Structure 1
Amino acid sequence: MIPEKATQLPKTAKIVWLIHDVIALLFLVVVEIIIYMLFLRGNFHQLAMMILIIMVLIATLPVIHMTLIPYFYRFRRYVIDDQAVYIYRGFIFRKSESIPLNRIQNVDTKQGPILRYFKLMDLSIETAAHGFQIEAIGEVTAKKLRGQLVKAALHAREVASDD
């Protein structure tokens, strides 16, 4: 269950995800048109029809993802406390990840042109075994969290090494 104190992503994250899906859809459509023009034009035997059907099905994936954006947004949250970072995703297919502060090795922020336009960043948290990501959080929040996590990880390591 997602705790009530969990922080939700900014509403502009939905717009960013939609833009990414539209770009992916346009790219797939252009690739499909090129494949059709080069290989399938006027050659509609069974193999060509199967390839065309598969290409159309692949192009529906970004459309399906677009319809699920409100679901992704509603159930994607995070919490940072004294012991760990908790990342929650999903309601039907729930996934909760906890990252102990003393295991954090690296904290990075990433920002492409679309995220930059909406003043958002992706925050990546690395441990020795896994990488975790909190997507599309505000620039100011991401920078503050990065500093807070680095300080907390250093403090947690100092406390652990004193034992």
Structure 2
Amino acid sequence: MNDTQKLPTRIKTIWRLSAVGSLVFGLILSALLTLPHLFWHWPLWLALVGVGLTIVWVIVELILVPYRYAFSGYRITDTAVEMSSGFLFKERIAIPIARIQNVTLEAGPLMQWQKLEQVVIATAATEHDIEGVEPEVAVQLRERIMRRAIEVQDEEF
């Protein structure tokens, strides 16, 4: 995709914090796996495997942040919203403008902290998102996509 727009670099902070959240969640689940050991004498290695898998998962997630950033982008054409990610496992999504029903902007606490917004593009069948764009860009994207979607729908009738 030639004129692909990159996400702001602050999205990497969100992804790293998400990995930390995965670590906390995984460690809590692993700690809960010690309860069957205490009450029913299940093997303790179940909890240890849980801790090990959690740590490996988080390390992989953190290592992949720069990779994920390098290959994530989007562009808006007259006919579609195109999103791309990945190098080894490429994913390219093209959402036809004519199928778009709604575009919303979302920002959870971490996104608000980093002053970013998520553009959620809804069709009748599914939703896709452009995660982590500047608020001004998000508003422009929403208006541009919806204006073009209305134009295309008017052309069809």
- Residue number among 78, 81, 88 corresponding to 2:84 in the alignment: 88
Distance in 2, matches of 1:131 and 1:112, equals 17
- For the 8 Å contact 2:23–2:54, the answer to whether it is kept is no
Specify whether residues 39 and 143 from structure 1 end up closer, same or farther in structure 2 by C-alpha distance, changes over 3 A only. Answer: same
Amino acid at match of 1:89: S
Gap runs ≥5 in structure 1: none
The 1-side partners of 2:52 and 2:89 are apart by 27
Match for residue 6 of structure 2? 8
Take 2:66 and 2:136, find their aligned partners in 1: how far apart are those partners? 24
Work out the number of aligned pairs and report it.
Answer: 157
**How far apart are residue 43 of structure 1 and its match?**
8.5
Q: Which residue of 2 aligns with 1:28?
A: 26
Map 1:117-156 → 2, pairs under 5 A: 117-156=113-152
RMSD: 2.0
- State the SS of the aligned residue for 1:4: coil
Residues 1:60 and 2:60 are matched in the alignment: no
Give how far 1:79 is off.
0.6
Partner deviation per Cα, 1:74-126 (whole Å, 9 max, x = no partner): 00110101111111111111111111111101111110011001111111111
Q: Is the 8 A contact 2:26 2:50 kept in 1?
A: no
Alpha-carbon offset, residue 26 of structure 1: 1.8
Using the TM superposition, give the Cα deviation of residue 51 of structure 1 relative to its aligned residue in structure 2, in angstroms: 4.2
- TM-score, normalised to structure 1's length? 0.87
Residue 31 of structure 2 contacts residue 47 of structure 2 at CA under 8 Å; is this kept in 1? no
Q: Residue 104 in 1 paired to residue 74 in 2?
A: no
- What is the CA–CA distance in structure 2 between the aligned matches of 1:42 and 1:100, rounded to whole Å? 55
Off by >2 Å, runs of 4+ in structure 1: 30-36, 38-45
Inter-partner Cα distance in structure 1 for 2:21 and 2:61:
12
CA distance in 1, matches of 2:134, 2:81: 17
Deviation readout 1:52-75 (Å, 9 max, x if unpaired): 313421343222111101111000
Q: Which runs of 5+ in 2 are unaligned?
A: none
Identity of paired residues, percent? Answer: 28
